[in-house]
Amino acid sequence: MLGPVVHVVGARPNFVKAAPVVAALIAEGRPQSVVHTGQHYDERMSHVFFRELGLPRPDVDLGVGSGSHAQQTAALLTALEKELPARAPALVVAYGDVNSTLAAALVAAKLGLPVAHVEAGLRSFDMAMPEEVNRRVTDQLADLLFVTSPEAIGHLANEGVDPDRVHFVGNPMIDTLMKHLPRFDARAVRTAHGLPERYAVVTLHRPANVDTPASAATAVRALREAAGQVELAIPLHPRGRAALEAAGLSDVAGVRILDPLGYVEFMGLLRGAAAVITDSGGVQEETTVLGVPCLTLRPNTERPVTVTHGTNRLVSAETLGPALRQALDDGTAARTAEGPPLWDGRSGARIARVITRWLERHG
């Protein structure tokens, strides 16, 4: 008998992407196991997502916690090397581009276990981003590569990936958004946090924006100008909170600093926003579907479909102020009528069908 499909998740974006895949495989009658690495361990960024998204309780929480990239990845490798053989998986499924993704793919490959990568082929072409390293290595090791947008197919082809391993399935993160959309209550979130009718949301956590005093100070200067136009609600990721507060964010008038929020509450906050300022890949995707103007404080994006088919625009600290003014004046940014291809709420089912057929052939 084939072993289970083992899903390795460790951070907020992983949970959101995994939920529809797990649900679809349950419908297929496929045995499964969920391994939580504990990369995100704060209750508000981890276990609340399992409850809100209907994910099965993890079979194990490895509790690796935080640390430098090397420290965290080393802890992940050691923990997964013990955990995966004990579960004898027929397939290991890794999600996104976090350190847990890379560790799952590397350990599985070393152990001779097949690997699937959900969200394969995305590229920023910026090797200074730790996530770009994780994406590239994971895609070289994966036996099944599930692609969320068309340009990713070309990136994988350029890197010599066998096209028979690549499957264009759409975006499972959007499955989750569509399923829970009625629960995203912007008015309730505004009331709970004392926000005005018109506000913007900010999420910043990338190393280029928060890892040094200089970069954090640059980000805070840009946010100070933004806060002069509209009140800013900023749920602060633990990773960047200390740096941004040390750079003076707490003293900026018009800034409302929030603790991390659960999925439903955060999505309600996004849904009601006049604009969003972010460096998050997932938020670029979510705002595209919600129709909220998104200003990405980065020189590049691995999700260009959110620019061509969505509401996203790349900005710098210098151009953020004028770009925000335009977004606020224009209101909801124009989108193509059809949106990104296959972002239709059925990606999890497509992934489950491919996995089921693959296991039948390789069982």
Break the chain down into helix, strand, coil percent, rounded to 5: 50, 15, 35
CA distances from 283 to 111, 157, 266, 316 (A): 34, 27, 10, 17
Report strand pairing: 91-95 vs 5-9: parallel
CB atoms < 10 A from the CB of 362, how many? Answer: 11
What the block records as the tokens of 18 is 């995994």
- 1 pLDDT band, cuts 50/70/90, is low
Q: Tell me the average pLDDT of the chain.
A: 93
Give the integer Cα–Cα distance in Å for 332 and 335: 9
Distances (CA, A) of 302 to 9, 118, 132, 207, 285: 21, 15, 9, 16, 11
Predicted confidence (pLDDT) at residue 66 exceeds the cutoff of 90: no
Three-state SS annotation for 39-78: CCCCHHHCHHHHHHHCCCCCCEECCCCCCCHHHHHHHHHH
Confidence grade of residue 57 (pLDDT, cut at 50, 70, 90): confident
Longest dimension (CA), the chain: 63
* Alpha-carbon torsion (184, 209, 325, 230), positive or negative: positive
| Section 21-50 average pLDDT | 82
Q: Which two tokens stand for residue 270?
A: 């996004």
DSSP code per residue over 284-311: HHHHHHHT--EEEESS--S-THHHHSSS
As a whole number of angstroms, the distance between CA 39 and CA 98 comes to: 9
CATH number for 5-171+343-362 (one of 3.40.50.2000, 3.40.30.160, 3.20.20.140, 3.30.465.10): it is 3.40.50.2000
Comparing CA positions, the residue from 113, 109, 162 lying closest to residue 138 is 109
Q: What is the DSSP string of 256-288?
A: EEE----HHHHHHHHHT-SEEEE--HHHHHHHH
- Residue 90 has a pLDDT of 98
Active-site residue list: 205
The dotted CATH code for 181-330 is: 3.40.50.2000
In tens, the pLDDT along 204-224 reads 989 899 989 999 999 999 999
* Cα–Cα nearest to 324, from 295, 300, 299: 295
125, 99 Cβ separation under 8 angstroms: no
Say if pTM beats, i.e. exceeds, 0.85: yes
Residue 40 has pLDDT above 90, yes or no: no
Q: Which residue has the tokens 């990606």?
A: 347
Q: What's the rounded mean pLDDT across residues 135-153?
A: 98
In this prediction, residues 293-312 reach a mean pLDDT of: 96
Whether the pLDDT of residue 243 is over 60: the answer is: yes
Segment 116-134 mean pLDDT: 97
Cα 66 from chain centroid?
18
CATH 3.40.50.2000-classified regions of the chain: 5-171+343-362, 181-330
Cα 258 to chain centroid, rounded: 20
